[in-house]
Structures are given as C-alpha cells and as structure tokens.
C-alpha cells in the first residue's frame, strides 16, 4: 500500500489516503477521524499498533478523489525526529575525501524544514552553495528501543524519497552541520510512503537525482555501508525511535560540492529524487526573497 498525506482544495487540515495512481487518491481519513486530521493524528497513522494500517487494508473507501482536487503534502508533515546518516555510501565517502565510517555517522534536521512534493526549496539568504542529496528514507512504525537487526523490519512502516538539502557554505563554516542541514525547506520528502509489504528488500533499489533533467546521482541502495536493519539496531541502542520518526539513510556519489566544477542549486532549478517503486519527488528551487 502507498500512504499519502494531502489537503483538499480550500481545506487547512490534513487528510490521509491511499495513492492509487498519478491521477487518483482514495481518502481513508474516516478511519481516524470524522473531520480533517491534525499533525498528531497523522503521526498515529504510522503507528502499526494503533490499527490504521490494518483497517486501511481491510476497509477500502469509495471516496476516490482526483489528484487535481488536492495538494499532496509531506507524508509526515511534522515528524517527531528527522535523523540522517552521513557518508553511508562508499563512493560518496571517497568523493568527500572521508574514510568509510566504522559506525553510522548521525546528525539531525529540525522538523520545521520538512516540505512536500512541488513545494519550493528556498536557498537561504547568504548561501551560494546550497546542494542536493537524493536519499532513501524509512518511517518508523513501532516504538523501538534496543532492537536487534533480525527484528528491525517489525519496527519500520515504510519508505519514501528524501532530499537532504544542504547549505555547504554554512555546514563547513560552522564546523558542525546543524544550521547547514536544517534551514527551512531543507527536508523535502514524498510523494508517498510505500509500506514494507510493497518493498521487501530496501537494499536493492535504484536511486537517482535529476537536476533540470540531467542525471547527477545514479546508484543503488545495495551500495550502503549500513543497511536499514543495521541502522534500526544501531539507532535504537541509543535513541528511542517512535512512530512517524523519519530516518534518511545517506546519499550516493554525485553531490554538487564534489563535482569539478561544483554544481549548486539556483533560483529556477528543478530537483527530482527518483527511487524504484517510490515515484518521483520533484521540487523547484527559489532564492530567498
């Protein structure tokens, strides 16, 4: 199943549904609430112990909506945590001039930088080196603490496209990554979450980033240093993972700052993340006004 978060035209509240096709969405919001949903109610949809997923599979709604009548949002508009993994593709570590890490390199993004498909990435004032990073993200579906990797997928709800947008000039000038990774709009994700029954092996997915139609990154998730199960085990040893938390698993080679000459995002660009069976996450780029 493909789960999508959206708003009806003229509506302020969120709705949740099944992504049927590029032209149709099935509204499943009635399984959670009689009206629109708040951010906390959206988080509960990703909790495998709350029952939404089971009901969604059993009780199909006849409320099918045209894609033209809605706005698709980030699947998790306000995750409790956005955890990112650095240098998790061997070739990307090499192009960055860094050794392959012996254990996962962890950093975070603030949840206020999350945006959905078709929302603009804003290059912040003062940055001339804002970069793209195509990533596979997974959504936590069950509270996880000290989970062994053999049980990891019991705690994963599904997978989505993610763009770890990064202001390299801020990142490298600060000596740590928080500001450069967490500017507003720097966490585009979507358009939907494909559940684990749709993607049984997250370590065999083609992953690409296209910038204005040109392919800049082209790899496969089999090249990850630490796979999804290893990441759940490692992270849950130190951090309690909760339903709706988003973990972005790192980017393959081809990022802008490592190119010769470097390539950065500019006003008018279009960045697209494309991963097998997860559709295309497309965002335009605008300069801060």
CATH code for the domain of 93: 3.90.850.10
In a domain, 106, yes or no: yes
Instruction: Identify whether residues 59 and 198 lie together within a single domain.
Output: no
pLDDT value of position 91: 81
Instruction: Identify whether residues 171 and 264 lie together within a single domain.
Output: yes
Domain end point (choices 27, 46, 72): 72
pLDDT value of position 78: 97
In a domain, 223, yes or no: yes
SS3 of residue 254 by DSSP: coil
Look up the domain containing 210 and give its range.
Answer: 82-287
Instruction: Identify whether residues 120 and 19 lie together within a single domain.
Output: no
Instruction: Identify whether residues 67 and 25 lie together within a single domain.
Output: yes
In a domain, 77, yes or no: no
pTM: 0.96
Question: Which residues 6+ apart lie within 8 Å of 61 measured at CB?
Answer: 17, 26, 27, 28, 30
| φ, ψ (nearest 5 deg) of residue 180 | -65, -20
Domain end point (choices 52, 72, 92): 72
pLDDT tens-digit series, residues 68-117: 999 999 999 999 999 999 999 988 878 888 888 999 999 999 999 999 99
Per-residue pLDDT band at 226 (split at 50, 70, 90):
very high
SS3 of residue 229 by DSSP: helix
Tell me which DSSP letter residue 224 carries: B
Instruction: Identify whether residues 99 and 219 lie together within a single domain.
Output: yes
pLDDT value of position 99: 86
Please provide the average confidence, as pLDDT, over all residues in the chain: 95
Of 164, 154, 161, whose CA–CA distance to 232 is shortest? 154
Domain end point (choices 26, 49, 72): 72
Instruction: Identify whether residues 281 and 174 lie together within a single domain.
Output: yes
Instruction: Identify whether residues 59 and 143 lie together within a single domain.
Output: no
Mean pLDDT of 136-163: 98
pLDDT tens-digit series, residues 23-75: 999 999 999 998 899 999 999 999 999 999 999 988 767 789 999 999 999 99
Instruction: Identify whether residues 179 and 272 lie together within a single domain.
Output: yes
Instruction: Identify whether residues 28 and 89 lie together within a single domain.
Output: no
Domains in the chain, number: 2
Burial of 9 (0-12, 13-18, 19+ CB in 10 A): exposed
Instruction: Identify whether residues 109 and 41 lie together within a single domain.
Output: no
Beta-strand relationship, 187-195 and 114-115: parallel
Instruction: Identify whether residues 60 and 179 lie together within a single domain.
Output: no
Instruction: Identify whether residues 61 and 87 lie together within a single domain.
Output: no
Here the tokens at position 264 are 């950065």
Q: For 88-204, where are the alpha helices, taking DSSP H only?
A: 90-95, 168-174, 178-182
């Amino acid at each position: 199943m493909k789960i999508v978060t959206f708003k009806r035209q003229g509506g302020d509240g969120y709705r949740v549904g099944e992504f049927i096709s590029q032209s149709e969405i099935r509204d499943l919001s009635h399984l959670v609430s009689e009206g629109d949903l708040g951010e906390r109610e959206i988080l509960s949809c990703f909790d495998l112990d709350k029952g939404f997923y089971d009901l969604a599979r059993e009780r199909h709604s006849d409320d099918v909506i045209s894609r033209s009548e809605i706005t698709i949002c980030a699947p998790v508009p306000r995750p409790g945590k956005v955890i990112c993994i650095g240098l998790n593709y061997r070739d990307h570590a090499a192009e960055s001039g860094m050794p392959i890490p012996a254990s996962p390199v962890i950093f975070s993004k603030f949840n206020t930088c999350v945006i959905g498909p078709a929302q603009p990435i804003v290059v912040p004032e003062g940055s001339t080196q804002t970069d793209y990073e195509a990533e596979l993200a997974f959504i936590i579906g069950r509270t996880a603490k000290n989970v062994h990797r053999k049980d990891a997928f019991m705690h994963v709800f599904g997978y989505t496209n993610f763009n770890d947008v990064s202001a390299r000039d801020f990142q490298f000038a600060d000596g740590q990554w928080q500001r450069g990774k967490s500017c507003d709009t720097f966490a585009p994700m979507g358009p939907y979450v494909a559940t684990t029954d749709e993607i049984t092996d997250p370590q065999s997915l083609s992953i690409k980033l296209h910038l204005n139609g040109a392919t800049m990154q082209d790899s496969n998730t089999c090249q990850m240093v630490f796979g999804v199960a290893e990441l759940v085990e490692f992270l849950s040893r130190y951090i309690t993972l909760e339903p709706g938390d988003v973990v972005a698993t790192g980017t393959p080679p081809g990022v802008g700052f490592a190119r010769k000459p470097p390539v950065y995002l500019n006003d008018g660009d279009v960045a697209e993340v494309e991963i097998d069976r997860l559709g295309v996450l497309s965002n335009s780029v605008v300069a801060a006004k």
